[in-house]
Amino acid sequence: MNALDSAVQKKIDQWLNGNYDEDTKTAIQQKLDDEKYDELTDAFYKDLEFGTGGLRGIMGIGSNRVNKYTFGMATQGLSNFLKKQYPDEELKVVIAHDCRNNSDTLSKVVADVFTANGIKVFYFDALRPTPELSYAIRELGCQSGVMLTASHNPKEYNGYKAYGADGGQLVAPFDKMVMQEVQNIASVDDVKFDGNDDLIEVIGQEMDEKYLDELVALSVSKDAIARQKDMKIVFSPIHGTSRELVPEVLKRYGFENVILVEEQMTPDGDFPTVEYPNPEEKEALTMALEKAEQTDADLVMATDPDADRVGIAVRDLSGKMVLLNGNQTGSLIINYMLNTWDNAGKLTGNEYIVKTVVTSYLIDRIAEAKDVECFNTLTGFKYIGELMTELEGEKTFIAGGEESYGYLIGEHVRDKDAVVSCAIIAEMAAFYKDQGSSLYEALLDMYVEHGLFRENLKSVYKKGKSGAEEIQKMMMNFRATPPKKLGGSQVVTVKDYQTSKEKNIANGEVSDIDLPKSNVLQFITEDGSIVSVRPSGTEPKIKFYCSVNTNLMSAEDYGPAAATMDKKIDAMIEALSK
C-alpha cells in the first residue's frame, strides 16, 4: 500500500511527468519501488525555502532538496530580480563555491541559468573562500554574486548564498524582493537552463593577488613579525577553501614557520577527519591541537569550509593549549587594533567598530575607553556589512565581529573574513610574544583593564510542528511576563527588537530601538548582566545568549572569578529555558 500523503504524491507525479532529466526520474521511481516512503515524504513535502540568506539543505532529489532544479529556480528568480532592479545596466555576477560535494557541477548550473538570461558571469576557476567572492563583486563592479556553501553544516548539505552589489549578503528590502521572485517561479519550466558560455569569464589567480594585496596592507606590526618570524603556527583549513590563501597571506605577512595539518589540507566534501567541519567545536580542531603538542607551537588556527570563520587555541600560563571562544577572540582583535591605531596616532575620532547585539559587551567597553564609536547590529554579519556600506566614505571602519567566530578587519569586503582574521590573529600573537607576553596574557590584561566578561550560549531544541509552537509560546510568555530577576539581580531594562521598543522597568519609560525588526528579546539586569533570547531562523531551536561581568583586580584572580561567573550563567539560563 502506498503510504504517501496525497500532496506529496502529487508533487512526486509532477517530477515524474515533468521536464526533469531521466536520472532524476529513475531515482524517484526506484525509491517508490523500494517503498522508501519516509525518504520521499521528507524530500517532497515542501519546497526548499529561499530565505533572507538564500538556500541551505540536504543534497538529493526532490523539491525539499539541494539539486540542479532547486538551485536553478533560485537563480532564475534572482535573475528576474536583477533585470527589474537594474533595467538599463549590463548585468554582471560572480560565482564561487567551496569544497562541498557537487558544488562544481551545481555552480555551472547556476552560471548557465544566469547566462541564459543574458547576464555576464565571472566564474572562479576552482574553489574559493566566501570573503573573496565578496571582494570580487566589489572589485568587478557586479550587481550580485552567488556563493555555493553550507558553511559548517554536515557533509550531506549544500547551500546558496546570494549577495548584493556592495558585496554583502542581501538585506531589506532586496532580500524580500528576491524571495518573492523565487516564489513566483511556478515550475521548472520557467527556468532557462541552456547557458551561453560566451558570457562566462573565468577568473582566478589575478583576483587572488588583488585580494591578498588588500590583506597585506592591513598589517600594523611588521617589525614585531620580523623579530618573531619563526613563531610556530599550526593551521588547518578543515578540508576547505582556505588551504592556499591562509598559508600564503601568513607568508606575505612574514611568518616562516607555519605548520600545516597535512591530513586536512586536501579539499574534501566528505570531511573525513572530523564529525562536523565547525571550528566552534573542539572536535574539529583535534588534529590541529595534536600537531601543536608535537611541535610545541604557540598558536592553532582552523577555518570552516568556506573560510569566513576561524577557531583558535593558545597556550595558557601553564603552557597548556586552550581554545578561545568567539567573544574572546573578537575582543582581542578589537583591543589589539584600537591600541595599535592609537599608538600610531591614527585615531582621529572618525573611526568605528561594529558587533552584533549578542556579542560580548566587553567590546563596547574597549571602544568606549578609546573614544571610538561602537555600533550594535542585529544578529547576522549581513547587518554589519549593511552598516559599513551606509557609512562608506563618511567614517573609517577598523574591525568588527560576532560571537559565532566571524570577524572582519578592514573595508575590503562586506562579510566575515577568516583569511584576514588568521593574518591579524597571527600578528597579534607575534606582537605580544615580542613584548615577552602571549595572547593568553593579553586576554587577562584586557580583563583587568576593562572588566571580566563571561558569555555562554545554550540552544534548546523543540522538534516538529509542536516544537515550533512551543518556541512561539515561550517568546509570547517572555513578552507578556518578563523575568523580574536574573542571577539574583533585578531586571532593569527589557529590549524587544520585534516591536523596536526598549522599556525601563523602574520608571516605565519606553524608547525606540533604531534597528530593523527581529524576533529577539534582551533582559538587562542591575549588575550589567544581559540575556538575549532568539529563536533560530534555520533550525527548530531557541537560543539563550547570556553575558555577565565583574571587575578583575589581577590576572591571578581570573580562575576563581571565571568559575563563579560560569555558575551564575548556568543558573540564569536554566531559569529561563525550563
Active site amino acids: 151
User: Can you tell me the distance from the alpha carbon of 522 to that of 358, in angstroms, rounded to the nearest whole number?
Assistant: 9
Tell me if residue 456 falls in helix, strand or coil.
strand
Bridge partners for 544 per DSSP: 458, 533
- The C-alpha cell of 191 is what? 527556468
Q: Where are the beta strands (DSSP E) in 452-572?
A: 452-461, 485-486, 489-496, 501-504, 510-512, 521-525, 530-535, 541-550
- The C-alpha cell of 480 is what? 507578556
> Which residue, among 530, 529, 532, has the nearest Cα to 545 in the 3D structure?
532
User: Whole-angstrom distance between the N-terminal and C-terminal Cα of the chain?
Assistant: 43
User: Can you tell me the distance from the alpha carbon of 521 to that of 544, in angstroms, rounded to the nearest whole number?
Assistant: 10
Output the 3-class SS for 103-164: HHHHHHHHHHHHHHCCCEEEEECCCCCHHHHHHHHHHCCCCEEEEECCCCCCCCEEEEEEEC
Judging by DSSP bridges, how do beta strands 299-303 and 233-236 pair with one another?
A: parallel
Nearest-5° Cα angle at 545, 543 to 549: 170
464: left (phi over 0), alpha (psi -120 to 50) or beta: left
Bridge partners for 538 per DSSP: none
User: Can you tell me the distance from the alpha carbon of 489 to that of 185, in angstroms, rounded to the nearest whole number?
Assistant: 53
Packed helices 37-44 and 6-17: angle between N→C axes, nearest 10 degrees: 80
Contact 267, 240 (CB under 8 A): yes
Contact 292, 302 (CB under 8 A): no
500: left (phi over 0), alpha (psi -120 to 50) or beta: left
* Residue 447 CB coordination number (10 Å): 25
Contact 389, 107 (CB under 8 A): no
Which residues, at least 6 apart from 130, have a Cβ–Cβ distance to it below 8 Å? 96, 98, 147, 149, 161, 241, 306, 307, 308, 415, 416
User: Can you tell me the distance from the alpha carbon of 181 to that of 78, in angstroms, rounded to the nearest whole number?
Assistant: 7
